[in-house]
Amino acid sequence: METLVTNPVIQDIITLARPALFNIYFALASIPLGFPLAILLALGKDSTNHLLSWFSRSFIYAFRGSPLFIQFFMFYSMSLALNPTVWKPWGLDWLMLNPLFIGPLVLVLNTSAYSAEIFYGALRAVPRGEVEAARAMGMGKWQVFRTAIWPNMLRLGWPAYTNEVVFLFHATALVYFTLPVINEQKDLMNKAGELFQKDYNVFLHYSVAAGYFLLISMIIFLLFNRIYRYLTRHTRTGRGIKLKPNYLR
């Protein structure tokens, strides 16, 4: 038992377990809000309303065209600038300057832009024949969307959206590189860097942190693969997303 406690790898796994929860929190707080916003942006971009389409295209372009690191820095700088005049008088300074709020906020806006482009492409790839068949049956716009457009759009865009969710989880490593660390709010990379400064064992600490990222990413892939199987349960392609590389062709 004592050997296990003194083992540096085991110690790192235990030490980095709590920081990993912050990375998981940032992802879990961003996905439920980023997904519906992405759907709305995709529909807005495809809308015949020029103002709505222009706004959606501008939003997507702005957040896809600028680095995530800069977005964190800009939002935190704006919060600092507004703090004396807006946040502090209203008693919101504790929230608007907290990385636990700003982090998910920026991640939601960023992932919604990337995801919107994915679902916009899936929306454009929906078979027109199914849409026309639904209209020919006398369905209204909402019924056509619910029965023909939405299921196909979700099924076509889900594999690419799965990758975006994993990228979003990896992007949580940037939160505390830009925003201040409050008390013990340290994520995997931040804590691994702190451990590295003590003994300069870069291979050990960052390898354990990478192991956490790999493990959680695999859980995301497995979970989203189950959802994809459900979405494609009525088709021949409903075998799920391949996780094993194809060595023989």
pLDDT of residue 31: 95
- φ, ψ of residue 125 to 5 degrees: the values are -95, 0
What is this structure's pTM?
A: 0.88
SS3 state at 237: coil
Distance between CA atoms of residues 95 and 10, nearest Å: 36
The closest alpha carbon to 23, from 224, 216, 204, belongs to 216
Question: Is 238 contained in some domain?
Answer: no
- ∠ CA 178-27-73, nearest 5°, is 20
Query: How much of the chain is helix, strand and coil, in % rounded to 5?
Result: 80, 0, 20
Mean pLDDT score, 109-116: 96
In the chain, what percentage of residues exceed pLDDT 70?
Answer: 92
Question: With bands split at pLDDT 50, 70 and 90, how would you rate the model's confidence at 4?
Answer: very low
Give the model's pLDDT for residue 129: 87
Task: Determine, yes or no, domain membership for 246.
Answer: no
Residue 21 is part of which domain span?
2-231
Number of neighbours of residue 79 by Cβ within 10 angstroms: 21
Amino acid 62: pLDDT: 95
Find the range with the poorest average confidence among 16-30, 82-96, 193-207: 82-96
pLDDT of residue 238: 47
pLDDT at 84: 85
221 located within any domain: yes
Is there a domain that residue 239 lies in? no
Please report, as a single letter, which amino acid is at residue 179.
L
Collect all residues with Cβ–Cβ distance below 8 Å to 144 and sequence separation of at least 6. Answer: 131, 134, 135
Given a cut of 50, whether residue 1 has pLDDT beyond it is no
- Is 123 a domain residue? yes
Structure tokens at 63: 């957040």
Show the tokens assigned to 101: 């709020």
Please count the other Cβ atoms lying within 10 Å of the Cβ belonging to residue 34. 25
What percent of the chain is modeled with pLDDT above 90? 59
Q: How far apart are CA 33 and CA 106, in angstroms?
A: 11
Confidence of residue 240 (pLDDT cuts 50, 70, 90): low
Q: What is the pLDDT of residue 2?
A: 42
Would you say residue 243 lies in a domain? Answer: no
Q: What is the pLDDT of residue 88?
A: 83
Mean pLDDT of 169-194: 89
DSSP annotation of 181 reads: P
Average pLDDT over residues 140-158: 90
CATH of the domain at 144: 1.10.3720.10
For 57-107, the pLDDT digits (tens) are 999 999 999 999 999 999 999 998 888 888 888 888 888 888 999 999 999
89 touches 166 (CB < 8 A):
no
Can you tell me whether residue 129 is helix, strand or coil?
helix
Determine, yes or no, domain membership for 240.
no
Residue 155 has pLDDT above 90, yes or no: yes
Query: Residue 128's pLDDT band (boundaries 50, 70, 90)?
Result: confident
3-state secondary structure of 84: helix
Number of domain units in the chain:
1
Does residue 170 form part of some domain?
yes
The confidence score (pLDDT) of residue 130 equals 85
pLDDT value at position 142? 87
- pLDDT, averaged across the chain: 88
The predicted pLDDT at position 219 comes to 96
Using 50, 70 and 90 to split pLDDT, how confident is the model at 136? confident
